Structure 1
Amino acid sequence: MNIDRRSLIFGAAGAAMLGGLAPAALAAAKAKLGPIGLQLYTVRDLFAADPVATLQKVAAVGYREVEFGGGGYDKMDPAMLRGAMDRLGLKSPSVHIGYDALLEQFDASVAMARTLGADTIVLPYMVDKHRTAEAWQVAVTNIARIAGQIQQAGFGFAYHNHDFEFTVAPGGETLFDRLVKAVDPALMKIELDLYWAIYAGQDAEALIKRFPGRIYSYHVKDMRPDRKMTAVGAGTIDFARLFTLNATAGVQHFYVENDQAPAPYIPDITKSFQTLRALRF
């Protein structure tokens, strides 16, 4: 290989320039997030009262993705919601649809997701009655079947965790482990709620590494020293460190969520958005 003098000089100069970059400039050269999303459960009270005005406020903060969940969205006209999103430059890559709805109103649920423009359906929660060994086995069997139906309908499927999946362990095996073993990874990905996993005592970094390529999205909320939820950047979770594993995880979307956001809600989601927009990792 021939390397001329000009190339050598340019290479040396480039290295010197990089070496002389201030810390702020080096940080700017690091990775950053693409579109940042909001799980609308965070602003459910506002959304239930006026969904279009709420979507306008969310878009004005800077969010470009939303994930529907709570606020009675499933009782609203999905075409109306889609029209509002289109006008505001918002997309909804995924929607939360409950277990009972997927069991009993599958076709209507899929039609709603399609109208909203989603490509993935997320199962968000399992109530207490499903959390025994016997009931969980029934639920897992149903979830595996639903996952196959969702794939046949042209959607992806993911399960969203809380803390109980890691802390309830009938027979010594957690509900989370039973679920991820029983359902084909090709049919079910994970929407990893980082706060709830950490709250349950999980090492989030180890958990991410355990499921390479299987994590569809993160729910991003922070934890105060007293373990209560707070806006991203107002707590103790080191998101920059965790996000260095994004390629390993395969994560596609980052949804801010605060189940306990204080009214009037918009300042809370603004703090989280601004923190994530400035984050470099």
Structure 2
Amino acid sequence: MGSCKVGIQLYTLRDETSKDFAGALRKVAEAGFAGVEFAGYGGMEAGKLKELLDELGIVSLGSHVGIARLREALDEEIAFNKTIGSKYIVCPGLGKEYRDSEQAWKETFALLEQIGRKCGEAGLVFGYHNHSFEFQDQVDGGTAFDALFAAASADSVKVELDACWAYVAGYDPVEYLGKYSGRVPLVHFKDVRRGEDDKWLTVELGTGEVNLNAIAEAAAAAGTEWLIYEQDNTQNAPFVAMANSMKWIKENGLV
């Protein structure tokens, strides 16, 4: 099945990267992931980080960069990511001040378009990563998610679909992969189930209620380049959760 490459969002391993950033990257490579999506760079200089990635035989598929940093230091982020070999820079979400009214949302749409154009001029691809609120908030009678990608040009702002949070919001990720076919190069690939307190738990792949195989098939059909394993909170130790999820990935023919 696996026509998409498989990476990992390092936020999954934040407790481990905070202790030994390079060591965590080594374990990612040993587990069989082809690439990493950064959520911070462990204090490493860009050239040294690129050397480490090359040594380990993995790539930087891209980086999550907060909206404040995108506004204030985009040139620095572009330069860093070009040095480490990233293709993508992604906004990982929005604080409430960027989305507390329809007008705020529309101003944010314009800001994301501007950031995306600047990334494109530098040879990088810019994307936006959703949680569930983009499906819950309404703009002009539809979801903020759809309003964002209608307002922003397809060349400037790509979709990084977090399939899990679309599911949690009550939307079908497979349907959305079809809807944005050709514009969704990155998919956050995670599983979820309700806990005893009725709150959602992100869980190891194959142990929740998300139809992951259907998402993988739809992503391949939509032209997705990377399936990115992410587990916001792990029940087992992070490296154990990563290993168990990679085992599921391999058993299901995705690598």
TM-score, normalised relative to structure 1? 0.84
Once the two structures are superposed, what CA deviation does each residue of 1:147-178 show, in whole Å capped at 9, x if it has no partner?
Answer: 11111011111111110100111553321122
Q: Do 1:160 and 1:193's aligned partners in 2 also have CA atoms closer than 8 Å?
A: yes
Q: Do 1:33 and 1:276's aligned partners in 2 also have CA atoms closer than 8 Å?
A: no
Cα root mean square deviation, aligned: 1.7
Return the alpha-carbon distance in structure 1 between the equivalents of residues 24 and 220 of structure 2.
32
Among candidates 254, 261, 281, match of residue 227 of structure 2: 254
Once the two structures are superposed, what CA deviation does each residue of 1:225-252 show, in whole Å capped at 9, x if it has no partner?
Answer: 4432101011121111222223431100
Indicate yes or no: 2:49 matched with 1:81: yes
Structure number with bigger Rg: 1
Indicate yes or no: 2:178 matched with 1:209: yes
Return the alpha-carbon distance in structure 2 between the equivalents of residues 233 and 81 of structure 1.
32
Return the alpha-carbon distance in structure 1 between the equivalents of residues 42 and 241 of structure 2.
24
Return the alpha-carbon distance in structure 1 between the equivalents of residues 17 and 45 of structure 2.
13
Indicate yes or no: 2:59 matched with 1:91: yes
Return the alpha-carbon distance in structure 2 between the equivalents of residues 46 and 79 of structure 1.
22
Residue correspondence of structure 1 range 1-20 to structure 2 within 5 A: none
Pick closer, same or farther for the CA change 1:223–1:113 going to 2, 3 Å.
Answer: same
Which residue does 1:229 correspond to in 2? 202
Gaps of 5+ in 2: none
Q: What amino acid sits opposite 2:167 in the alignment?
A: I
Residue correspondence of structure 1 range 1-281 to structure 2 within 5 A: 31-33=1-3, 35-69=5-39, 72-73=40-41, 75-131=43-99, 132-170=101-139, 172-226=141-195, 227-262=200-235, 264-280=237-253
In the alignment of these two chains, the number of paired residues is 249
As a proportion of its length, which structure holds more helix? 1
Q: How far apart are 1:32 and its partner, in Å?
A: 2.7
4+ residue segments displaced more than 6 Å? none
TM-score, normalised relative to structure 2? 0.92
Q: Do 1:219 and 1:255's aligned partners in 2 also have CA atoms closer than 8 Å?
A: yes
Return the alpha-carbon distance in structure 2 between the equivalents of residues 182 and 74 of structure 1.
35
Q: Do 2:182 and 2:222's aligned partners in 1 also have CA atoms closer than 8 Å?
A: yes
Pick closer, same or farther for the CA change 1:272–1:111 going to 2, 3 Å.
Answer: same
Q: How far apart are 1:121 and its partner, in Å?
A: 0.9
Deviates more, 1:234-243 or 1:154-163: 234-243
Q: Percent identity of the aligned residues?
A: 31
- SS state at 1:73 partner: coil
Q: Do 2:202 and 2:231's aligned partners in 1 also have CA atoms closer than 8 Å?
A: yes
Pick closer, same or farther for the CA change 1:117–1:86 going to 2, 3 Å.
Answer: same
Deviates more, 1:84-93 or 1:245-254: 245-254
Gaps of 5+ in 1: 1-30
Once the two structures are superposed, what CA deviation does each residue of 1:185-223 show, in whole Å capped at 9, x if it has no partner?
Answer: 122211111111100110112111111111111111111
